[in-house]
């Protein structure tokens, strides 16, 4: 199945890789970004250069009104979404729990948890056969942190991704009868801005020996997994949480 796909946080890193991989598979892609306009436009240009169709749409997924606008703009520019990769996420403030506060926690959960719920809600209104839609497929991006507890000072981030895992299991039961498949990917250590936030290249070098496969992952390795989960090849995969973590 291909059609119109919304990828949140698609200006860089895992989101950009997901957008590129899905476009190669034939999806028309709404490349969402919050602040990285130039990066999102570069992703669109890459997709168009390969003969694909894409548009860049600005929206902060932590705000319900902006998520509604993101999907409305997608309707207008590409057509109603039949696919969603809810990737947008932030690492939050790295600090012990005793130093966390509403000011550090609320933006984290607004993006990483509420944002996924808002996006899945908008996608469901368009995809659900109960609502007159054609069905569809959703992939949400979690993290291996959800089962490992997170890097030092990032327990809140891990908790936000644990919520994504729970959401995936529950929504699979809720949406399966509406013609919507939903699955999650738990990336391990991937070379992205979030890892840079946690320590960058030096940190990855220290961690590599602890990863059974012996290296950090690349964003495209998540992108290809997401494209597969959206595809007919994964037609009986529903409610799954796929670890793409090099064995960690």
| CATH number, domain containing residue 117 | 3.40.50.720
Q: Classify each residue of 65-95 as buried b or exposed e, where b means 16 or more C-beta atoms within 10 Å of its C-beta.
A: ebbebbbebbeeebebbbbbbbbbbbbbbbe
Structural domains of the chain, count: 1
- pLDDT recorded at residue 209: 86
Mean pLDDT of the chain: 95
| pLDDT for residue 118 | 98
Radius of gyration of the chain (CA): 17
**Global pTM value:** 0.94
Residue 237 belongs to domain spanning: 4-244
With 0-12 / 13-18 / 19 or more C-beta atoms within 10 angstroms meaning exposed / middle / buried, residue 96 is exposed
DSSP 8-state code for residue 182? E
- What's the pLDDT score for residue 37? 96
pLDDT at 38 over 80: yes
| pLDDT over threshold 80, residue 87 | yes
% of the chain surpassing 90 pLDDT = 89
What is the share, in percent, of the chain residues with pLDDT greater than 70? Answer: 97
The pLDDT of residue 207: 81
pLDDT in tens, 176-223: 999 999 999 999 999 887 666 666 677 777 888 889 999 889 999 999
In Å, how far are 145, 161, 185, 240 from 243, measured between CA atoms? 11, 13, 6, 10
Residues 6+ apart with CB under 8 A from 105: 92, 156
pLDDT of residue 1: 61
**Is the predicted pLDDT of residue 63 greater than 80, yes or no?**
yes
The H-assigned helical ranges of 114-234 are 115-127, 145-148, 155-175, 193-198, 200-207, 219-230
Give residue 204's pLDDT: 76
Active site residues: 157
Contact 145, 189 (CB under 8 A): no
């Amino acid at each position: 199945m291909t059609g119109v796909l919304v990828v949140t946080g698609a200006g860089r890193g895992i989101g950009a890789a997901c957008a590129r991989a899905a476009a190669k598979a034939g999806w028309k892609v709404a490349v969402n970004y919050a602040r990285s306009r130039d990066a999102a436009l570069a992703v669109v240009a890459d997709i168009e250069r390969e003969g694909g169709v894409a548009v860049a749409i600005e929206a902060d997924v932590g705000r319900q009104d902006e998520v509604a606008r993101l999907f409305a703009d997608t309707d207008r520019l590409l057509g109603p979404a039949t696919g969603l990769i809810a990737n947008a996420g932030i690492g939050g403030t790295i600090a012990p729990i005793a130093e966390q506060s509403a000011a550090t926690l609320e933006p984290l959960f607004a993006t990483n948890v509420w944002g996924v719920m808002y996006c899945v809600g908008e996608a469901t209104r368009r995809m659900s056969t109960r609502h007159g839609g054609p069905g569809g497929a959703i992939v949400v991006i979690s993290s291996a942190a959800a089962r490992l507890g997170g890097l030092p000072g990032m327990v809140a981030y891990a908790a936000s991704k644990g919520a994504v895992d729970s959401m995936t299991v529950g929504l699979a039961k809720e949406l399966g009868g509406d013609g919507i498949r939903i699955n999650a990917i738990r990336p391990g250590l991937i070379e992205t801005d979030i890892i840079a936030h946690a320590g960058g290249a030096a940190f990855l070098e220290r961690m590599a020996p602890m990863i059974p496969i012996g290296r950090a992952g690349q964003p495209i390795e998540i992108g290809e997994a997401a494209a597969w989960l959206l595809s007919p090849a994964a037609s009986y995969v529903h409610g799954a949480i796929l670890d793409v973590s090099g064995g960690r």
